[in-house]
Amino acid sequence: MNLEFTPEEKAFRDEVRAFISQNYPAHLADFGMREDMSPEDMVAWHKILGEKGWSVPAWPVEYGGTGWTPTQRYIWSEENARVNAFMPLPFGVAMVGPVIYTFGNEEQKAKHLPGIRSGDVWWCQGYSEPGAGSDLASLKTTAVRDGDHYVINGQKTWTTLAQYADWGFFLCRTDPDADKPQEGISFILVDMKTPGVEVKPIKLLDGGYEVNETWLTDVRVPVENLVGQENKGWTYAKFLLAHERSGIAGVARSKRGVEKLREIAAEETLDGQPLIEDFDFARKVSQLEIDLAALEITELRTLAGEQAGKGPGPESSILKIKGTEIQQRLTELTLEAVGSYGTPYYGSIANDTGSNEYPIGPEYAHHSAATYFNMRKTSIYGGSNEIQRNIITKMILGL
């Protein structure tokens, strides 16, 4: 056993590091949780990577993947996190892309994969509904066959960044009489500009708008937008969720977050000393680092398993649970570190002055509370942490 990177991996790391430092857009450095980030900002790096051929590293080479080993992919995410790079949104790259190249037909691959690679097409995920959250299989949105179209009716919710989306992938009920709720569901691609698709932003408690209600009223979608077989959508949905979860640990980003936390705690003072020299505070940072170190190795072990040909299994639930707990703890400690300057609501201040300059308190404090509030979502979405524990109970403990 050996934790060191091989010389080849080190060379790869240097190559990656050089590429990032030369190409990552300077104005996006350390983007944090800024509300003023435009959709163009969000795809800027994606497009650069698309040209380089690095936007979908995990895909099979024939569809534009890099052929990198899991370790190389790990190095890649680590290096991006070092500069806090805003990575390509997962909806195209990590979710619908793999479904299309695995279950889609040739026309679908030809039509959709290039836009995902290049970052030109923005995707959103239409799974959840007001009454179907954790119990996704109880979804009610219907797609009824009418000649060579499906007519879709229903309401989706929590559709992340759908306000900018060109396309969405939706789970719809195509056979209401199926024996089990998981059956009779289909996976359908919808052009978000189709008449009858209406997107209404939902304000979250940090003041931002990142999710939406998506209403579908008599939306006519050509049948060729069905992925795979009719009524077999649940299989693809589950396949996708496993992919969604594997990216969710966020180890590299949390490592950068801990570094940032240490920087903040070196600036802040307690009894005239840097906060980071306070034992009570320092021990909490260390505890976080210890949990993160464990998670990192757990993730590497999972990656090694994948490298040896095992697909992402129920172990990914461990990564989801611990990864999100660490992210939440990190934002909690950051808020704690900034003291009173966590209290101002910077959303209002930014609007006030009409500029991006926030002259109140240190810059690192500005979004600390909003980020803490926002990160409560991580233990809820992508299958809540309770659901992840239920999965481990069943699949690993056999209870």
Partner 1 sequence: MDFNFTEEQDMVRDGLSRMVREQYDWESRRAAIASDAGWRPEVWAQLAELGILGMPFSEDVGGFGGGAVDAMIVMEEFGKGLVVEPFVPTVVCAGGFLKHAGSEAQREEHLSAIIDGSRIFAFAYAEPRGRYDFADLETTAKKDGSGYVLNGHKAVVIGAPWASHLVVTARTGGDRRDREGVSVFIVDKSADGIVTRDYETVDGRRASEVYFENVSVPGDALIGDEGAALPLIELVTDEAIAAQCAEACGAMKVAHAMTVEYSRQRKQFGVPIGKFQVLQHRMVDMYTAYEQSVSLTYLATLKLEADERERKRAVSAAKVGVGQAARLVGQESIQIHGGNGVTDEYAIGHYFKRLTIFESEFGNVDHHLKRHVSLA
Residues annotated as part of the active site? 244
8 A C-beta contact, residue 176 and residue 165: no
Report the distance separating Cα 197 and Cα 381, nearest Å.
23
DSSP state for residue 206 in the 8-state scheme: T
Query: Considering CB distances under 5 to 8 angstroms, the limit depending on partner class, which of partner 1, ligand FAD, none binds residue 160?
Result: ligand FAD
Closest of 62, 69, 53, 59 to residue 13, by C-alpha? 69
168 binds, among partner 1, ligand FAD, none (CB under 5 to 8 A by kind): none
First-to-last C-alpha distance (Å) of the chain: 33
Minimum CB distance to partner 1 smaller for 108 or for 368: 368
Smallest separation (angstroms) from partner 1 to the CB of 167: 23
339 binds partner 1 (CB under 8 A): yes
Structural tokens at position 365? 């404090």
Asked if residue 169 binds ligand FAD (CB under 6 A), the reply is: no
CA distance 253 to 269: 26
- CA torsion angle for 71, 74, 80, 84 (degrees, to 10)? -150
DSSP secondary structure code for residue 89 in this structure: P
Closest to partner 1 by CB, 72 or 384 = 384
Selected range binding ligand FAD among 25-33, 122-130, 147-155, 327-335, rule: CB under 6 A: 122-130
Residue nearer to partner 1 on the CB measure, 8 or 135: 135
Size of the site for partner 1 (CB under 8 A): 55
Q: How far is the CB of 241 from ligand FAD (least distance, A)?
A: 9
Determine if 111 is a binding residue for partner 1 (CB under 8 A).
no
Give residues with Cβ within 8 angstroms of 149, minimum separation 6. 220, 221, 222, 223
Alpha-carbon distances, residue 171 vs 156, 190, 202, 330 (angstroms): 9, 10, 21, 34
Residues lying near ligand FAD in the complex (CB under 6 A) are found at 125-128, 133-134, 158-160, 211, 377, 380-381, 384, 386-387, 390
Residues lying near partner 1 in the complex (CB under 8 A) are found at 128, 131, 133-135, 138, 157-158, 202-205, 207, 211, 268-272, 275, 278, 280-281, 332, 335-336, 339-345, 347-349, 352, 359-362, 369-370, 372-374, 376-377, 379-381, 384-386, 389
